[in-house]
Copies of this chain bind each other. A is one copy, B any other.
Amino acid sequence: MATQRRRNGQGSGKANPAEDEAVYQAILHALLEGTLKAGTKLAEPPLAEIFGVSRERIRKVLHRLGAERRLEMIPNRGARVPRPTLDDVRSVYEAHRVLEAGVLTQLVRHVDDALIDRLNAHLAEERAAATRGDRAASVRLSGAFHVYLVEALGNAELSRFLADLLSRSSVMVSVYEPATDSICAVDEHGAIVEALRARDLARAIAVSREHFIHVESRLHLDDDAAPAAEDLTSVFAAVKPKRRKAR
C-alpha cells in the first residue's frame, strides 16, 4: 500500500492548466463579490476538498493571489482575506486620484471628437442604469468610466495599474460599504468629460479631484468586531467539485 501507483481515475492527476484557472477565478470572484469576508482564513486542506483538486493546486493559487496582494500570506500560517484599514482604503483612493490627474494631463493633449463621443455614450449608459435603479450596473459602469479614461491613452502599464487599484477598492467597498445612496457620480463624470472637451486641464483635474473626495467622504468604518470567520463550504457552495469525498 505504501507504493501505490497512483493511477487516479479519469482526468489523471497530471497537467491541467484549466483547473488552476477555475480555482483562481472562483476564489477571486468570491473575493470581489464580498462573499469572503475580511479576516477569513483560507486553509489549504478544506479548499482542496471543496474544489476536488490536490492541495498543491490550491497552494499555488493561494500564493498567486498573495503575490497579487489580494490575500495576506503569512509564512507558516497560511492565507487570510486582508482586513484593510481605513487608511489603506484612503491610500488606494488617493493613488487613483493622483493617477487620474496624470491621465487627464496627458489626455487633454490628445482629445478628439471620437473620444468625447465614446465617453458621452458611456455616460448615457450610466444615466440609464441610474434611472432604472440598477445599482449593480451603476457600480460597474461607474468604475468602467475611469477605466475608459485610462485606456484612452493606450498605455498597458497604466491600464494594469488602474485595474489593480480598482479590484482592490472594489473589495474594500464591501467592507466599508460606501453606503446605499445612489452612485450619483454620473454628473461628476459628465463634468470631467465636459472639461476634457473644452481642453480645460485645470477644470478637469479640479472636477476629478472633487469627485474622488466626494466618494472618499462616503466611506465609513462600520465595525471590526464581527468579521465572523465563515464556513468555506457554504461560501463556495456553487462550485461543483470533480470528486468530493463523501461526508
User: Does B92 lie within 8 Å of A17, measured CB to CB?
Assistant: no
Chosen A-B contacts, 13 in total, with CB atoms closer than 8 Å, are A91-B156, A92-B157, A94-B106, A94-B155, A94-B157, A95-B158, A98-B105, A98-B155, A99-B99, A101-B101, A101-B102, A101-B105, A105-B105
User: Does A157 lie within 8 Å of B103, measured CB to CB?
Assistant: no
A197 CB, nearest partner CB in chain B, Å: 20
Complexed CA–CA distance, A75 and B20 (Å): 12
Within 8 A of B (CB), among A98-140: 98-103, 105-106
Let me know if A244 is at the binding interface, CB within 8 A: no
Residue numbers in B under 8 Å from A155 (CB-CB): 91, 94-95, 98
Q: What residues of chain A have their CB less than 8 Å away from a CB belonging to chain B?
A: 17, 64, 67-68, 75, 91-92, 94-95, 97-103, 105-106, 153, 155-158, 161, 165, 205
Residue numbers in B under 8 Å from A157 (CB-CB): 91-92, 94-95, 165
Complexed CA–CA distance, A182 and B67 (Å): 37
Residue numbers in B under 8 Å from A105 (CB-CB): 98, 101-102, 105, 205
* Nearest B residue to A98, CB-CB: B102
Q: A17-B75, A157-B165, A161-B161 are in contact. Are A98 and B94 (CB under 8 A)?
A: no
